Amino acid sequence: ERHYRRPGRPVIIEGVSTRWPALHRWTELAHLQAAAGHRPVFVRDLAAGCIDAGPYREVYRELSFGDFAQQVFSDPPPPLYLTQALIDRGNG
């Protein structure tokens, strides 16, 4: 045990989070939509951005977290990247 506490020595800890409630709730679309579905988020649309042509550009869109989650849970999920979110800041 002592040799794992020294700085610079990586450790893999397995099986610790299997009982963590969020591990299961955060994989349920209905829970995510109920908890924060109305909150605005900004996503980067990787399909609309282009790095091969002219000037580099990135395309961002604002969605509700519920709409974003719905798309992420679709098959196949669209190439969206969550960049900013004010998901849970009280009752506002």
Dump pLDDT digits (tens) for 13-61.
Answer: 888 888 888 888 888 999 999 988 998 898 888 888 665 556 667 788 8
Dihedral sign for Cα 42, 48, 51, 56, please.
Answer: negative
Dump pLDDT digits (tens) for 70-91.
Answer: 999 999 989 998 887 555 555 4
Q: Report the 10 Å Cβ neighbour count for 89.
A: 8
How are beta strands 40-45 and 60-64 bridged, if at all? Answer: antiparallel
Rounded to whole angstroms, the Cα distance separating 49 from 36 reads 27
The reported pTM is 0.65
Alpha-helical segments (H) within 3-64: 21-25, 29-36
Q: Work out the pLDDT band at 92, boundaries 50, 70, 90.
A: very low
